[in-house]
Amino acid sequence: MSKRTAKDAHLPVGECVTQVQDILRQRLCHQRLPDKPEGVESQHRHLLELLKRTAIHGESNSVLIVGPRGAGKTMLLKCVLRDLLEDKEAQKSLLQVHLNGLLQTDDRIALKEITRQLHLENVVGDKVFGSFAENLGFLLEALKKGDRSSSRPVLFILDEFDLFAHHKNQTLLYNLFDVSQSAQAPIAVVGITCRLDVLELLEKRVKSRFSHRQIHLLSSLTFTQYLERVRTQLSLPDGFPDSRFAQDWNDGVKTLCGDKSVEEVLQRHYNSSKDVRSLHMLLMLCLSRVSVAKPAIKPADLLEASRLCFADAKANMLHGLSILELCLIIAMKHLNDVYEGEPFNHQMVHNEFKKFLQRKSNSMYNFEQPVILKAFEHLQQLELIRPVDGSSAKTQREYQLMRLMLDHSQIMEALQKYPQCPTDVKQWAMSAFG
Amino acid sequence: MTALLQHPGYEDESLQRVAEQLPCREAQSAVLLSLMGQPQQYSYPSIFIYGHRASGKSHVMHVLLRELELPHATLSCVECVSGVLLFERVLLSLFGHEAAALLPRSASLSDFVRVYRQQCSLSPAEQTRFIVMEKAELLRDADANLLPALLRLQELVEDNVTVVLLSEIAWDKFRPNTGCFEPLLLHFPDYSKGELQQILSQDRHPSYSADFYSSYINILLGVFYSVCRDLRELRHLAALNFSKFCEPVAEGKVKETDTHKLWRNIEPHLKKAMQTVYLREVSSLQWEQMQQMEEKETGVVRGLSAHTHIELPYYSKFLLIAAYLASYNPARTDKRFFLKHHGKIKKTNFLKKNEKTSNHLLGPKPFPLDRLLAIFYSVVDNRVAPTASIFSQISSLVTLQLLAQVSHEDQLDAPKYKCAVSMDFICAISRTVNFDIVKYLYDFL
């Protein structure tokens, strides 16, 4: 888009909205890299320096990037790689191997993937190797051109690093770290993980070969920075074709961020989580409400999006239960109150329900036991109640012990919202003892 | 009548068709459509849609993807028992046969991603590709890394792809230990009573008037709505019972407009359906046969009572009764029930019980073989020798699953059992041998 610099070209609104959606969706859904990583400048410098040494000077290194989910670990690494590859020399020689703990579930698969990514399938051919180390050594050997100083540096990126630690004997990690320690081919091993205790997972022999260099990404975002981030994420870049629309849009975003109610909502989100991903989700919901008829984000959109994000899923599910199932839930709640959270079985719940019915003169809920049992089993299917572990399959269905997976407030919230809830059921739920 | 869906990037005609096929789901389809955006734009990497059974989750997704002609793969996790099947189906629907054939035997997730990337570099996505997974709760039982990988598939394959997961269970129950990429959550609320009525009324047979059919649906909902809100189930029941509802009209006894008389005719019938067809105790075929039978010989009501009748040998019946008594009575009360001269036990002491300890709430207790036999000898009316035939009858009761063996199979001396039959069942059994079991039950004293 930025290439088309048609100054002050007026596009129709529909076109503009499409452009806005294009640009912002790239950012929010596709995690497009920002021009400059924010808030992690020092880490960026550190990592870039480290990788440069491998790429240009042929020095082996290993490093772990540790941080909670959505803290920007992958973003940081990708930014560093982008900057690194701007260097001509690095671009020419550096080889990359990307592995992901989710995909390469054991070392055999990982080794195959490494071979593939280094384009060495032909070299390996039908050779049979005695051990993993031998195989990896061969691969790295194949990359050498002549003497050691001229062999090509390889960058190993291990996403979800903690999952590699669960592989048998940690062979892959051991060998990679071993190569990076001894003066063989120059390699850099970069692990990305969300587990802070990842070093505890490593075996002693693996741990001792690791350089113990860790880059921590612990977000220390203040609320003002958070607000600023919301603004930049929603703002349009300078190169937008219709500059007047872009101006209007950016002004709109600025007023949006200044709005009192919006600030309140964002504060709530900030308090519950600071990570980028959840913010993206919120903004994506807002963005999806932008249309030709309404080419701006209004505070009401943000409130609605936040309501969707914070909706309690279980209360939502309770809303759709039949009245019989709801009565059973209330009976369970009473049992929980009386017996202080002891598990219950279907028979007790039924008994509790019958006690409620006896106090009523009208018998509009006159159900047969099997019908009630079916409702009970439906609740189990929805995982609103769960069988207690250890109660074997040999017990009859009616007597299997269960626990209620809902808390008091969820039930109450659902009752408030329940359509046409009979008053007596409501009163029964409110009464302290059934 | 239908509110027109509007979205740039799609033809109005196809949107109109979508709107017609999705009654009462306008709001949800509009939200989904706006999240999907225009075909070439990126959508959120993964969307998780939850809602009750038959709340239109799959239907809305299908109709949207089919009518808007977006590239998609739809699969049910019930069918994909292994990851390989799942990968094959996805590649087959997105890229065709050749791509699916590229997968090696016993393909891993790594192979799938490799083949996918290879294929999408050959044919880059011009429109967002969608992968829809129904019954996503089953993914939790698959390999631990499958679900997290699917959620961030867009990132892994670097393609414009969105994974849509459909489930009845809330997302909270899916989250793995170390967390994962969080999908966008969408809730499909259940249909309200009015909406159910509206949808069900669309199935009307052309030979009957709309009012007549909707009054039928109204009566049906009156009976079943408090128990079941599953649209599919209600539809099934509506189809099964409609012929019965029409009967008086066809015979000319009642006019179509006489709702009250029609209600009087059908209501007991629907109540019976709730106890039989709804519980799947009889199949719909049997139910239709029963309806025809009834006209010939009235009073034959099978259903719930059908399985409380099972033919057993004479002593087996007593063994079962004895087992039931042993399971539900505390051992210390045996003296009181089965000894002629049990001496004086203070009644007040004896009857002191609170509801908490009622065995019919807590379930059967295990008992040793000796106690079973002791009770058996005292309840059976003539003298029986403890022959092999008695013991073999015990083991056949275990095979029939009327008794359950609690102790290990290899424990030969003093095995323990539990009675696994219901109160109704044992009452029916004891009636056949003229034994008043209620008199011997501690809970009903």
Q: What integer is the mean pLDDT of B46-61?
A: 93
The reply to whether B55 touches chain A by the CB within 8 Å rule is yes
End-to-end CA distance of chain B: 64
The residue of chain B nearest to residue A27, with distances taken between CA atoms, is B42
Confidence of residue A434 (pLDDT cuts 50, 70, 90): very low
The reply to whether B243 touches chain A by the CB within 8 Å rule is no
Most A CBs within 10 A among B12, B110, B224, hence the mutation to make, goes to: B110
Enumerate residues 157 to 196 of chain B having a beta carbon within 8 A of any beta carbon in chain A.
160, 168-173, 178-182, 184-187, 189-190, 192-193
**Taking CB atoms and an 8 Å limit, are B227 and A367 in contact across chains?**
yes
The reply to whether B127 touches chain A by the CB within 8 Å rule is no
State yes or no: pLDDT of A218 exceeds 60.
Answer: yes
The confidence score (pLDDT) of residue B203 equals: 85
State yes or no: pLDDT of B395 exceeds 80.
Answer: yes
**Taking CB atoms and an 8 Å limit, are B184 and A292 in contact across chains?**
no
Q: What integer is the mean pLDDT of B219-246?
A: 88
Q: Cβ atoms within 10 A of the Cβ of A49, count?
A: 10
The confidence score (pLDDT) of residue B358 equals: 77
A204 to chain B, closest Cα gap in Å: 23
Q: What integer is the mean pLDDT of A100-120?
A: 88
More confident of the two residues B204 and A215: A215
Strands A385-387 and A402-404: antiparallel
The confidence score (pLDDT) of residue A150 equals: 63
The confidence score (pLDDT) of residue A392 equals: 59
Cα gap A226→A230, rounded to integer Å: 6
Angle subtended by helix axes A423-430 and A323-338, to nearest 10: 20
Q: Reading across the β-sheet that carries B129-134, which strands appear in turn?
A: B72-76, B129-134, B161-167, B46-51, B184-188
**Taking CB atoms and an 8 Å limit, are A25 and B41 in contact across chains?**
yes
Determine contact, residues B228/B266, Cβ cutoff 8 Å. no
**Taking CB atoms and an 8 Å limit, are B279 and A102 in contact across chains?**
no
A428 to chain B, closest Cα gap in Å: 17
**Taking CB atoms and an 8 Å limit, are A25 and B43 in contact across chains?**
yes
The reply to whether A150 touches chain B by the CB within 8 Å rule is no
State yes or no: pLDDT of A224 exceeds 50.
Answer: yes
Strands A61-66 and A214-216: parallel
B224 to chain A, closest Cα gap in Å: 10
Q: Which of A251-255, B406-410, B437-441 has the lowest mean pLDDT?
A: B406-410
Q: What integer is the mean pLDDT of A132-151?
A: 68
Q: Give residue limits of the domains in chain B.
A: 12-187, 193-306, 314-339+358-440
Q: Which of A340-349, B53-62, B211-220, B355-364 has the lowest mean pLDDT?
A: B355-364
State yes or no: pLDDT of A164 exceeds 90.
Answer: yes
Determine contact, residues B34/B64, Cβ cutoff 8 Å. no
**Taking CB atoms and an 8 Å limit, are A322 and B110 in contact across chains?**
no
The confidence score (pLDDT) of residue B351 equals: 54
Q: What integer is the mean pLDDT of A57-71?
A: 89
Closest C-alpha to A163, from A98, A210, A105, A77: A105
Q: Cβ atoms within 10 A of the Cβ of B356, count?
A: 10
The confidence score (pLDDT) of residue B294 equals: 64
Token digits for B374? Answer: 């002791």
**Taking CB atoms and an 8 Å limit, are B154 and A29 in contact across chains?**
yes
Domains of chain A: 41-216 (3.40.50.300), 221-309 (no CATH), 315-433 (1.10.10.10)
Contact pairs from chain A to chain B, CB under 8 Å: 173
B346 to chain A, closest Cα gap in Å: 29
The string of pLDDT tens digits covering residues B77-92 is 999 888 899 999 999 9
A252 to chain B, closest Cα gap in Å: 21
**Taking CB atoms and an 8 Å limit, are B170 and A314 in contact across chains?**
yes
The reply to whether A338 touches chain B by the CB within 8 Å rule is no
The residue of chain A nearest to residue B148, with distances taken between CA atoms, is A102
State yes or no: pLDDT of A350 exceeds 70.
Answer: yes
The string of pLDDT tens digits covering residues A389-400 is 765 566 788 888
Q: Give contacts of B127 with chain A, Cβ < 8 Å.
A: none
**Taking CB atoms and an 8 Å limit, are B43 and A29 in contact across chains?**
yes
Q: What integer is the mean pLDDT of A416-429?
A: 85
- Cα radius of gyration (chain B): 31
State yes or no: pLDDT of A145 exceeds 60.
Answer: no
Token digits for B151? Answer: 């959620």
Give percent of chain A with pLDDT exceeding 70.
93
CB-closest option in B37, B110, B228 to A25: B37
Angle subtended by helix axes A41-57 and A73-85, to nearest 10: 50
Task: State the DSSP string of A211-276.
Answer: ---EEE------HHHHHHHHHHHHSPPTT-S-HHHHHHHHHHHHHHHH-HHHHHHHHHHHHH---H
The reply to whether A116 touches chain B by the CB within 8 Å rule is yes
Q: Please give the angle made by the CA atoms of A180, A183 and A189, to the nearest 5 degrees.
A: 15
CB-closest option in B178, B189, B404 to A320: B189
CB-closest option in B8, B148, B227 to A371: B227
The string of pLDDT tens digits covering residues A358-386 is 887 565 667 888 889 989 999 999 999 99
A61 to chain B, closest Cα gap in Å: 25
Q: Please give the angle made by the CA atoms of A230, A234 and A235, to the nearest 5 degrees.
A: 115
Q: Give contacts of A352 with chain B, Cβ < 8 Å.
A: none
**Taking CB atoms and an 8 Å limit, are B361 and A367 in contact across chains?**
no
Q: What integer is the mean pLDDT of B9-25?
A: 87
Q: What integer is the mean pLDDT of A166-192?
A: 87
The reply to whether B154 touches chain A by the CB within 8 Å rule is yes
Q: Please give the angle made by the CA atoms of A141, A147 and A152, to the nearest 5 degrees.
A: 55
Q: Give contacts of A375 with chain B, Cβ < 8 Å.
A: 227
Closest C-alpha to B8, from A89, A20, A359, A268: A20
The confidence score (pLDDT) of residue B58 equals: 93
Cross-strand pairs, A192: A65
CB-closest option in B186, B190, B226 to A365: B226
The confidence score (pLDDT) of residue B131 equals: 95
The reply to whether B43 touches chain A by the CB within 8 Å rule is yes
A153 to chain B, closest Cα gap in Å: 24
Determine contact, residues B96/B156, Cβ cutoff 8 Å. no
The correct answer on CATH 1.10.10 for the domain covering B314-339+358-440 is yes
**Taking CB atoms and an 8 Å limit, are B169 and A382 in contact across chains?**
yes
The reply to whether B357 touches chain A by the CB within 8 Å rule is no
Residue type, A426: K
Indicate the average pLDDT of chain A: 85
**Taking CB atoms and an 8 Å limit, are B364 and A396 in contact across chains?**
yes
The reply to whether A320 touches chain B by the CB within 8 Å rule is yes
**Taking CB atoms and an 8 Å limit, are B179 and A69 in contact across chains?**
yes
Top-tier CATH class for B12-187:
alpha beta
Confidence of residue A95 (pLDDT cuts 50, 70, 90): confident
Q: What integer is the mean pLDDT of B196-201?
A: 91
A79 to chain B, closest Cα gap in Å: 15
B34 to chain A, closest Cα gap in Å: 5
State yes or no: pLDDT of B67 exceeds 50.
Answer: yes
Enumerate residues 35 to 64 of chain A having a beta carbon within 8 A of any beta carbon in chain B.
none
* Fold: same for B12-187 and B314-339+358-440: no
The confidence score (pLDDT) of residue B301 equals: 46
CB-closest option in A14, A277, A314 to B182: A277
Cross-strand pairs, A387: A402
Give percent of chain B with pLDDT exceeding 90.
30
Q: Which of A189-193, B105-109, B406-410 has the lowest mean pLDDT?
A: B406-410
The reply to whether A281 touches chain B by the CB within 8 Å rule is yes
**Taking CB atoms and an 8 Å limit, are B155 and A348 in contact across chains?**
no
Q: What integer is the mean pLDDT of B233-255?
A: 86
State yes or no: pLDDT of B120 exceeds 70.
Answer: yes
The string of pLDDT tens digits covering residues A188-211 is 999 999 998 999 999 999 999 999
The string of pLDDT tens digits covering residues B293-318 is 765 544 444 444 455 567 888 899 99
The confidence score (pLDDT) of residue B350 equals: 52
Enumerate residues 168 to 197 of chain A having a beta carbon within 8 A of any beta carbon in chain B.
194-195
CB-closest option in A29, A100, A162 to B156: A100
State yes or no: pLDDT of B2 exceeds 50.
Answer: no
Distance of CA B370 to the CA centre of its chain: 40
Enumerate residues 362 to 421 of chain A having a beta carbon within 8 A of any beta carbon in chain B.
364-365, 367-368, 370-371, 374-375, 381-383, 394-396, 398-399, 419-420
B345 to chain A, closest Cα gap in Å: 30
The confidence score (pLDDT) of residue A64 equals: 94
A288 to chain B, closest Cα gap in Å: 5
The confidence score (pLDDT) of residue B250 equals: 83
Closest C-alpha to B396, from B324, B315, B305, B308: B315
